[in-house]
């Protein structure tokens, strides 16, 4: 699919296939301003990636935003963001 953008239908189908996140399960996090964090959807956009996120796969990635709900993932992808996975804040860069 490289070289072209996804259609709205392709984005919707992709987002629907994503696993659900447990938006109510928090973990201790010394880097998050609240002192706690949770595993939610991580997105990146070139030129705006200001944080590193630890994905549930163990990979650390640079990203721009995190969202809780699938419809927010769909909106962000439509705005040019790339879905990276499910993760929590690792550090600000």
Q: Tell me the DSSP string of 56-78.
A: TTS-EEEESEEESSHHHHHHHHH
The CA distance from 88 to 14, in Å, is 21
**pTM (predicted TM-score):** 0.89
Q: What's the pLDDT at 75?
A: 97
Q: How many domains does the chain have?
A: 1
Residue 3 lies inside a defined structural domain of this protein: no
pLDDT of residue 1: 44
Cβ contacts of 10 within 8 Å, gap of 6 or more = none
Distance CA 42, CA 83 (A): 6
Short-list 31, 46, 39, CA closest to 67: 39
27 falls within a domain: yes
Range of the domain at 68: 8-92
Structure confidence at residue 64 (pLDDT): 97
Q: What is the mean pLDDT of each run of 10 residues along the chain (93 residues)?
A: 79 96 90 91 96 96 97 96 96 89
Q: What pLDDT does residue 2 have?
A: 57
């Amino acid at each position: 699919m490289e070289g072209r953008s996804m259609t709205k239908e392709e984005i919707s189908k992709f987002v629907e296939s994503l696993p659900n996140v447990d938006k109510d399960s928090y973990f201790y996090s010394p880097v998050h301003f609240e002192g706690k964090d949770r595993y939610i959807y991580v997105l990146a956009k070139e030129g705006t990636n200001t944080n590193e996120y630890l994905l549930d796969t163990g990979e650390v990635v640079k990203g721009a935003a995190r969202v809780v709900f699938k419809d927010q993932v769909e909106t962000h992808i439509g705005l040019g963001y790339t879905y990276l996975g499910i993760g929590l804040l690792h550090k600000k860069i």
